[in-house]
Amino acid sequence: MFGRARSPVVRKDHSACSGCSLCLLVCPVWRQTRDPRLTPEGRAKALQHGAPARELAASVAACRLCGACEPVCPEDIDLVGMTLGLRAHLADPALVTALHGRMKEIASQPLRVLDAKIAFLPGPALREKPQVMARITALTGAVPSTDDGVDIEEALQSGIPIPRERLERFLGHLRAAQEVVVEDGQWMRPLREWLPKARLTSLGAALGNLDAVRRSLRKTDLYVIEPRAYHSDYERLVGHYDRLRTERGCAFNLDLQRIAIPPAAQADWILKGLRVERVVVERQEDAEAFVAHGAYPVVHLAELADH
């Protein structure tokens, strides 16, 4: 038996696509390539016309899973789920076998339940920053998970089913937590299904709600929002960022698709035309492009209270 992530709301499939192109306008891949075949509309229309998954391989691989397309789709199509379903069809059997082998091995290792009311799921780049991690725990009370779930993340991004025993080990050690704070919004969608009683909070919201952090934001900061969490918790977070902008006056990467594009040109693109003195990131992974850009100091939101 396998556990699969599914959307908590009943969404439609590709057959409902009307071709309105709204998803195309917000898709970072469209913004980068101007190739309609690489967009969610392109995939939905191709499926409507009976295209087999193998013909959509390039399009499916190009998706950044940022989730920007879903909130704008007037037909409520499960666009991320559609892409993940295609990825599952296209997954290399050898890679699936290797990943499942790794998961089986991890599942066999004992792990004690995380004794914390608030659990924290950091990404790999943040785990490499113990001082920032310690700061996050000190500020929010959230205790980092001892199972990093990197293999589960890989399976989620590839649409690969997760063996039940692996999922049970991972979720079992989070079960005592009443709240789970996630650095990467990719976790929001599956965790809503897997831990329906837990409150899920993005790291940006958990830190941004603290006075010590908020009052350290300056008008001259560029605040880089983590787009996956934003798009998966849009109704709640739109008010959060609007309050932050009104209160602190800093600039935001409101054109959120841009952060979903990983090449080195990303920082140039986001910073173009902005007059800022510092870059503040919610996700450590996003810091790298701005550090490489080199024009401004880059700090994690958790470090703000010290600045």
Q: Would you tell me which residues interact with ligand SF4 (CB under 6 A)?
A: 17-23, 26-29, 40-41, 44, 63-69, 72-75, 77, 79-80, 260
CB-nearer residue toward ligand SF4: 23 or 217? 23
CB-nearer residue toward ligand SF4: 212 or 254? 254
Q: How far is the CB of 98 from ligand SF4 (least distance, A)?
A: 25
Confirm if 171 and 195 have CB atoms less than 8 A apart: yes
CB-nearer residue toward ligand SF4: 62 or 155? 62
Total Cβ atoms within 10 A of residue 23: 25
Q: How far is the CB of 156 from ligand SF4 (least distance, A)?
A: 13
In the block, tokens 């199972």 appear at 147
Q: How far is the CB of 37 from ligand SF4 (least distance, A)?
A: 12
Q: What is the DSSP letter of 113?
A: P
Q: How far is the CB of 23 from ligand SF4 (least distance, A)?
A: 3
Q: How far is the CB of 216 from ligand SF4 (least distance, A)?
A: 31
Strand runs (DSSP E) across the chain, as ranges? 2-3, 118-121, 143-144, 162-163, 179-182, 199-202, 221-224, 251-252, 278-281, 298-300
CB-nearer residue toward ligand SF4: 216 or 232? 232
What residues form DSSP beta bridges with 12? 77
Q: How far is the CB of 25 from ligand SF4 (least distance, A)?
A: 9
What residues form DSSP beta bridges with 202? 182
CA distance 284 to 129: 9
Confirm if 59 and 38 have CB atoms less than 8 A apart: yes
CB-nearer residue toward ligand SF4: 79 or 244? 79
Positive or negative torsion for Cα 253, 257, 258, 261: positive
CB-nearer residue toward ligand SF4: 16 or 111? 16
